[in-house]
Amino acid sequence: MKETQEEYDYVIVGSGFGGAVSALRLSEKGYKVLVIEKGKWFQKKDFPKSNWNLKKWLWLPTFRFFGIFKMTMLKDVTIVSGTGVGGGSLVYANTLPRPHKAFYSRGNWKGLTDWETELEPHYTEAERMLGAAKNPKLFDSDKALFELAKIYNKENEFEAANVSVFFGEPEKEVSDPYFNGEGPEREGCRFCGGCMTGCRYNAKNSLDKNYLYLAQKNGAKIQAERIVKKIVPYGKDDGSEGYIVTHQSSTSLIKSTQLVVAKGIVFSGGVLGTVRLLLDMKKKKQLPNLSPAVGDHIRTNNENLAFVVAKKSDKDYSKGLAIGSIFPPNEDGHIETVRYRTGSSFWKTFILPMVFNKKAIVRIPKLLLKIIFQPWILGRAWFAKDFAKQTVILLFMQHLDSTLKFKRGLFNLKSTMSSGKKATPFINEAGDLANKMSKIINGEPFMVNVDLITGAPSTAHILGGAVIGENQKDGVIDSKQHVFGYKNMLVCDGSAISANLGVNPSLTITAMTERAMSFISNKEQ
């Protein structure tokens, strides 16, 4: 069934960091804005109490699970991402680090402008809008990280994380503390560790509490549970007369199709959403002028995720913020402690004892020997009294560069290596860090089973694929994030990150989108 068209100035595809900033800034400039979001709207009590509630936690439409956490397995990388009104902000660990200097002078965007100076005021604004603040309380897991920092003589560089959380009084609702009373009512953080299953206490500054909330007040419309399938120029081939956007239900069994007409488009579906759409539309010749660089220059933060499970349950590593502290063990890397709230033990079914070897032919037999002859190691994780309380998760990220290319496969995206050394979960420094942490907390190190078996790393930081370039050959978008070959079409999300970031990306995506939006003039009345 097809319904006829509504008209907007801008349609924004996706409501994560890029989409939310675009919605607010365009609506402030007087434009009529529609945000189309594949995931659901969530109120605080809709979030699951633990990640065992798969139906509420996972996004797995085939099983009719419509939660906030999505896993996508490709040949070279397993990607975790967020879905829902607020995108990755619903599921993320709130950390907002600024990148190192090297980020501004590498990659495809190198030399196109003085990125560091230009982005500086936008980082400040992004921090203000997201309510960035130093985590005021360190708990057992952070204390263990501090002990690790001492071993590396880095105790002076150990820091509480900068996070987007409201640290008011817990269990007390107060009027908006951030936007002169224009924002929603809020409650103070309870340090429950549940940020990555969704905050049930209205303390996390997810995008529905700031950018999206204010955008709606300005008249922006957010349509949830709809997935954008197709965008074609309306009239002239370059889109100068507008676009027709086709979207469908993403949760209903009946895929009712709707069309809207928009003068401009902002792609903000995250790398998995935006790159997939662009590749589809290029292949089907719906947007044939798109750059040949679509899907190229995709990066992760070259990370490793290790789970260190303590043998005893005398400490509580689940208390605190999902990411509470950070330090750089070497020039190229950062390490953070990550946690889930008590009872959230799903990950114990997804880990195996750590075995480090890039060659599967060596690694897999070693792993099997460990499982057969030392079954108590795996047993300790499986039968831990409270896995979340007994586990310190370590996230190690590096500035080292390598890139992937995504293509359209029959059902999903396909990945291939594009440049640099193939990313691996077997990063020696990360292995050393996990072993040292095991000594500190008297535990055993584990890895994600998929990483261990396939040799491909997992990442929560998939970036690039529609990068900035000097021209259409080098990049998909120009330095103001407009798509080469089309008018009034922008990419504002993680796909626009054009160099290796080496730290968590949400603040940078927010700052870059603030900058891109600053170039768009107010609507002529």
Ligand X SMILES: Cc1cc2nc3c(=O)[nH]c(=O)nc-3n(C[C@H](O)[C@H](O)[C@H](O)COP(=O)(O)OP(=O)(O)OC[C@H]3O[C@@H](n4cnc5c(N)ncnc54)[C@H](O)[C@@H]3O)c2cc1C
Residue positions annotated with a catalytic role:
461
Q: How many CB atoms lie within 10 A of CB 113?
A: 14
If one asks whether residue 191 binds ligand SF4 (CB under 6 A), the answer comes out as: yes
If one asks whether residue 389 binds ligand X (CB under 6 A), the answer comes out as: no
CA–CA–CA angle 410, 505, 309 (5° rounding): 85
- Binding part of the chain for ligand SF4, among 72-80, 190-198, 454-462, 502-510 by CB under 6 A, reads 190-198
Q: For residues 26 and 378, which CB has a smaller minimum distance to ligand X in the complex?
A: 26
If one asks whether residue 233 binds ligand X (CB under 6 A), the answer comes out as: no
Cβ atoms of residues 223 and 36 within 8 Å? yes
Question: Which two structure tokens, joined as six digits, stand for 261?
Answer: 């007409």
Q: Is residue 373 classed as helix, strand or coil in its secondary structure?
A: helix
If one asks whether residue 406 binds ligand X (CB under 6 A), the answer comes out as: no
If one asks whether residue 129 binds ligand SF4 (CB under 6 A), the answer comes out as: no
The closest of 183, 242, 245, 186 to 215, measured between CA atoms, is 183
Q: For residues 438 and 481, which CB has a smaller minimum distance to ligand X in the complex?
A: 481
Q: For residues 33 and 321, which CB has a smaller minimum distance to ligand SF4 in the complex?
A: 321
Cβ atoms of residues 513 and 115 within 8 Å? no
User: Using CB under 6 A, which residues numbered 485 to 504 contact ligand SF4?
Assistant: none
**Interacting residue with ligand X among 167, 504, 511, 514 (CB under 6 A):** 504
Least distance to ligand X from the beta carbon of 99, Å?
A: 11
Which segments of 175-318 does DSSP mark as H helices, in order? 211-217, 270-283
- Binding part of the chain for ligand X, among 35-43, 310-318, 380-388, 423-431 by CB under 6 A, reads 35-43
CA gap 383, 369 in Å, rounded: 20
**161: which residues sit within 8 A by CB, 6+ positions away?**
94, 95, 97, 134, 135, 321, 323, 324, 325, 326, 336
If one asks whether residue 393 binds ligand SF4 (CB under 6 A), the answer comes out as: no
If one asks whether residue 196 binds ligand X (CB under 6 A), the answer comes out as: yes
Annotate each residue in 36-75 with x if it binds ligand X (CB under 6 A) or - if it does not, as one string. Answer: xxxx------------------------------------
Annotate each residue in 281-320 with x if it binds ligand SF4 (CB under 6 A) or - if it does not, as one string. Answer: ----------------------------------------
If one asks whether residue 183 binds ligand X (CB under 6 A), the answer comes out as: no
**268: which residues sit within 8 A by CB, 6+ positions away?**
12, 13, 14, 15, 16, 17, 18, 19, 22, 87, 274, 491, 492, 493, 513
Annotate each residue in 3-32 with x if it binds ligand X (CB under 6 A) or - if it does not, as one string. Answer: ----------xxxxxx--------------
CA gap 105, 394 in Å, rounded: 29
If one asks whether residue 199 binds ligand SF4 (CB under 6 A), the answer comes out as: yes
**Interacting residue with ligand SF4 among 194, 270, 333, 353 (CB under 6 A):** 194
User: Using CB under 6 A, which residues numbered 306 to 325 contact ligand X?
Assistant: 323
CA gap 367, 353 in Å, rounded: 7
If one asks whether residue 388 binds ligand SF4 (CB under 6 A), the answer comes out as: no
The closest of 87, 163, 135 to 507, measured between CA atoms, is 163
What would you report as the CA-atom Rg of the chain, rounded to the nearest whole angstrom? 22
Helix (H) or strand (E) holding 441: helix 428-441
> Which residue matches tokens 């626009």?
496
**Interacting residue with ligand X among 23, 58, 91, 392 (CB under 6 A):** 91
Number of residues in contact with ligand SF4, rule: CB under 6 A? 13
If one asks whether residue 87 binds ligand X (CB under 6 A), the answer comes out as: yes
CA gap 260, 70 in Å, rounded: 27
The entry of ligand SF4, ligand X, none that residue 390 binds, CB within 5 to 8 Å by partner kind: none
Residue 374 is given by DSSP the state -
User: Using CB under 6 A, which residues numbered 316 to 375 contact ligand SF4?
Assistant: 321
Residues that bind ligand SF4 (CB under 6 A): 165, 189-195, 199, 201, 203-204, 321
Residues that bind ligand X (CB under 6 A): 13-18, 36-39, 80-84, 87-88, 91-95, 196, 227-228, 268-270, 273, 277, 323, 460-461, 493-494, 504-506, 509
